Amino acid sequence: MKNKKDFRQFRVRILLRTFGALTAAAAVIYITYSVLQHVGFADGMVAFFQFVFGINYEAALQLYERTFRRHMDMMILCSFLLVFAGLFWIYLRWLTGYLEAVSRGMDILLEDDPKDISDILDIPDVLNIPGRAPYLRSGEISLPPELFSIERKMNLAKHRMVLQNRHMREAEQRKNDLIMYLAHDLKTPLASTIGYLNLLRDERQISEELREKYLGIALGKSQRLEELIDEFLEIARYSLSDIILQYKEINLTRLLEQLVYEFQPILDGKNLTCRLAAEEGILLKCDADKMQRVFDNLLRNAVLYSYEGTEITIEAARGEDNLVLKFSNHGDTIPEKKLERLFEQFYSMDTGRGTGGTGLGLAIARQIVMLHKGTITAESENELTVFTVTLPVL
């Protein structure tokens, strides 16, 4: 609902200006009329004619009668019109000043290059305060105090336009990144597969052992290609807001125990141990398949970046309103700047951490957790990295 107080100050200002202009006009007209009707004015004009034209008093009086006395009504009317026109012009100039200020604001609003305002990510408090803004950042719109409501809304619209443009540029950049990574990651196993198949076709005298080796490599690369395509399709699917979750109640403790058991060969390969700290029979209502993918990604990530011979810890605790899970591993401390980007798509490729992954695992995990109305965060200090998943209790 529109706030009726938005333009109260503007209406009061116009009322006062209008009253002031009318009062001034009335005062000037009254003074002009009084002067013209005053006896002293007639005596002064007669004396003026005598002095300028060198005539006697009788001739000067007759000239005054012909010039002023007979046309007094017309002269008063003309003086009224001149005074009114002057005051009305001043009044219009003041009033159109507001329109000029709004026009300048619209020019700033429609600028292609929003200058410093493009560096603002959130709507500043200056747009939400009830009074006049104490300051304006470079690139923001400034209007007279009486139009603060319009100024606030125009600045709000400008900030939204800036954010929309930024999001569009980021989306365009993500699309370009996707194309680049698709071209790079899909081309590598595809080129390797084609190379080994060409060897099998061209080398007629190849031994059976070497043939089996080449076929095994080509098959492995093809399977890797299939995995990459599946991951790209999966991240696109999880990015859709209309995806439907299949909720059901699961025993979270059993799910985590099964996960640790399935990872045991991988853990043994790096001489790692995994400790599960969870109460018996923790129940969680979620999409079991998708949530299992989250836990799988987090544990796989912990294995990849753990020091050999260390322990990975999985903790699960149920509160009144939420369920908190923590995946902890000992490894290199992740810098704060990189920590903020862990959940970005393709991040591992950008940082070159050498895992051979697509950098989509944590991005997919975040999408699934967000679909469950939960949060996922990461902390890293003193060679200990902790991923925390918080899910609402339904």
What average pLDDT does the chain have? Answer: 78
263 with 358, same domain? yes
Q: Does some domain include residue 85?
A: yes
In Å, how far are 22, 46, 60, 285, 321 from 51, measured between CA atoms?
Answer: 38, 9, 9, 109, 102
Q: Token pair of 16, please?
A: 């006062």
Range of the structural domain that residue 356 is part of: 247-392
Residue 67 pLDDT: 75
Contact 360, 236 (CB under 8 A): no
Q: Is the pLDDT of residue 387 over 80?
A: yes
Contacts of 293 (CB under 8 A, 6+ apart): 364, 365, 368
Of residues 269 and 109, the one with the higher pLDDT is 269
Contacts of 85 (CB under 8 A, 6+ apart): none
List the single range of 2-11, 17-26, 367-376 with lowest mean pLDDT.
2-11
284 with 375, same domain? yes
281 with 382, same domain? yes
268 with 380, same domain? yes
- Decide: residue 337, CB within 10 A, 0-12 exposed, 13-18 middle, 19+ buried: exposed
Q: What is the pLDDT of residues 94-122, one digit of tens each?
A: 878 878 888 888 887 777 655 544 444 34
Q: What is the pLDDT of residues 238-258, one digit of tens each?
A: 555 556 788 999 999 999 999
191 with 208, same domain? yes
82 with 102, same domain? yes
The confidence band for 5, taking pLDDT boundaries of 50, 70 and 90, is low
Number of domains the chain contains: 3
269 with 333, same domain? yes
312 with 332, same domain? yes
Beta bridge partners of 386: 328, 379
346 with 255, same domain? yes
Backbone angles phi, psi at 277, to 5 degrees: -115, 90
Q: What is the mean pLDDT of residues 285-298?
A: 89
CATH of the domain at 204: 1.10.287.130
Of residues 138 and 328, the one with the higher pLDDT is 328
Q: Does some domain include residue 122?
A: no
328 with 255, same domain? yes
Q: Does some domain include residue 53?
A: yes
The confidence band for 181, taking pLDDT boundaries of 50, 70 and 90, is low
Q: What percent of the chain has pLDDT over 70?
A: 79
Q: What is the pTM of this model?
A: 0.51
SS (H, E, C) 165-211: HHHHHHHHHHHHHHHHHHHHHHHHHHHHHHHHHHHHHHCCCCCHHHH
Q: Is the pLDDT of residue 355 over 70?
A: no
* Distance separating alpha carbons of residues 279 and 15, to the nearest angstrom: 73
367 with 251, same domain? yes
388 with 329, same domain? yes
Q: What is the mean pLDDT of residues 334-360?
A: 64
Question: Amino acid letter at 225?
Answer: L
List the single range of 5-9, 90-94, 102-106, 288-292 with lowest mean pLDDT.
5-9
Beta bridge partners of 259: none
Contact 273, 336 (CB under 8 A): no
Contacts of 101 (CB under 8 A, 6+ apart): 143, 144, 147
Backbone angles phi, psi at 382, to 5 degrees: 50, 40
